[in-house]
């Protein structure tokens, strides 16, 4: 199996969540760009590579068992200390367009299990993400 960088793995996570409902909204794409520009995990990532990395992920997802291949690449590329970050970016993308679809919930839950995150840690990250997007 090929390997990818931890930055690519985080982008793959965001693409998987965004594409899970069949459409990547403008807000989701903007959120992905903002995360790549601002998150310390992307400090050494060249921003012009965002689109090619996202396209690589999309191409893999089109293959049979593509989601399993993407998740395998993500898990192999992410050091333990960035697994919570991966879950957080997944939540950010899912919540960014103010409509979390059932497919997105399923993908986020699959990510939690696949990354081996404790349910309490995941619940804390989820609560923080929800608080961030509260309107009133």
Asked whether residue 72 is domain-assigned, the answer is yes
Please state the domain count of the chain.
1
Full domain range(s) for residue 112? 6-132
pLDDT digits (tens, 9 = 90+) for 82-135: 999 999 999 999 888 766 667 888 888 999 999 999 999 988 998 888 887 776
In a domain, 50, yes or no: yes
Helix axis angle, 6-19 to 83-96, nearest 10°:
30
Prediction pTM value: 0.91
pLDDT score for 21: 80
CATH code where residue 126 lies:
1.10.3680.10
pLDDT in tens, 70-97: 999 999 999 999 999 999 999 999 888 7
Whether residue 75 lies inside any domain: the answer is yes
Question: What whole-number distance in Å separates Cα of residue 114 and Cα of residue 126?
Answer: 17
Domain contains 1:
no
């Amino acid at each position: 199996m090929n390997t990818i960088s931890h930055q690519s793995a985080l982008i793959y996570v965001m693409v998987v969540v965004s594409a899970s409902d069949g459409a990547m909204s403008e807000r989701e794409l903007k959120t992905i760009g903002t995360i790549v520009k601002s998150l310390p995990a992307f400090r050494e990532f060249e921003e012009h590579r965002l689109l090619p990395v996202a396209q690589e992920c999309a191409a893999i997802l089109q293959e049979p068992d593509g989601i399993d291949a993407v998740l395998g690449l993500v898990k192999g590329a992410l050091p333990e200390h960035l697994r919570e970050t991966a879950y957080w970016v997944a939540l950010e993308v899912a919540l960014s367009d103010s409509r979390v679809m059932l497919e997105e919930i399923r993908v986020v839950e699959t990510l939690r299990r696949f990354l081996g995150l404790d349910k309490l840690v995941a619940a804390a990250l989820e609560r923080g993400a929800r608080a961030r997007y509260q309107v009133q």
